[in-house]
Amino acid sequence: ADDPQVPQARGILGKDAIIGVSCYEDMDLVKRWTPEDISYIGLSSPYTSTTKHKEVVPLDKFKELVAASRLPCYAIGGIAPERVGEMLDAGCYGVAVISAIFGAGNPAYETERFLAELDRLS
């Protein structure tokens, strides 16, 4: 995350805009951001991903990253419906998915699976 871009975005979009930063597995970035800067943090998940070509983050390190954040964290990368509960248990506010839905043979069905799992967990 390039520092100058965030204040510039905040200045253009205003204080009520939802702005997030991908911190991957970088603890320094996680600790840097405050609720005054951004709205949420995206973290690389402990799963292999077809879209996020980063090394898999061990679950214990992932939990440390979430715990260190002053912002809501969203797990991204390799998330499937059956993994949502583990990410919420790790302290995430939610999950972000790309290929799980857009790469599915039936994106509508896969979306329903995610929604059903979120309903079950809430």
Domain ranges of the chain: 5-121
Enter the pTM of the model: 0.90
- Which residues lie below 8 Å from residue 96, measured CB to CB, with a gap of 6+? 42, 74, 75, 76, 79
Q: What pLDDT is recorded for position 53?
A: 67
**DSSP assignment letter at 103:** T
The whole-number average pLDDT for the span 46-50 is 86
The overall average pLDDT reported for the chain is: 92
pLDDT of residue 94: 96
- Tens digit of each residue's pLDDT (9 = 90 or more) over 2-45: 566 898 999 999 999 999 999 989 999 999 999 999 999 999 98
CA distances from 66 to 3, 27, 72 (A): 21, 9, 8
Between CA 63 and CA 118 the distance in angstroms is 20
Which CATH homologous superfamily contains domain 5-121?
A: Aldolase class I (3.20.20.70)
Burial of 75 (0-12, 13-18, 19+ CB in 10 A): buried
Quick one: pLDDT at residue 1? 46
